[in-house]
Amino acid sequence: MTEESVDRADAMFHALADRTRRDILRRVLAGEHSVSTLAAKYDMSFAAVQKHVAVLEKAGLLTKRRSGREQLASGDVEAVRSVASMLTELEQIWRGRIARIDVLLASDLDQED
């Protein structure tokens, strides 16, 4: 992995580490929402929701566009797929390690018999 891709992965996982941001992402993946509509769904200030949206945007998980006075947010499906791909890669590494441990344990049991 390049330094840039490592930084992007860090930003994505940081963004996804927060429950509110994950919920915002779910909503904008289902369809475009104005930031003010999103803010109405949470028991926090508009500014706090804007900050959550900014973290998701910086991580590349959503995009914003202006429509008049409104900021509209949309989820980036490809970015979410890249997170899933990273997790699959990590899972494969761990499955390989577990398989190697199983082989070692089996060979130890065979030697005891």
Which band of pLDDT confidence, cut at 50, 70 and 90, is reported for residue 1? low
- Tell me the C-alpha distance between 2 and 27, whole Å: 31
Q: Give the global pTM.
A: 0.74
Which band of pLDDT confidence, cut at 50, 70 and 90, is reported for residue 113? low
First to last CA, the chain: 44
Q: What token pair was written down for 20?
A: 């509110």
The pLDDT score that the predictor gives to residue 85 is: 80
Query: Span 32-60, mean pLDDT?
Result: 96
- Tell me the C-alpha distance between 50 and 5, whole Å: 25
Name the residue ranges covered by the structural domains of the chain.
Answer: 3-110
Q: What is the second-level CATH architecture of the domain 3-110? A: Orthogonal Bundle (1.10)
Write the CA distances from 26 to 17, 56, 91, 99, integer angstroms. 14, 11, 23, 34
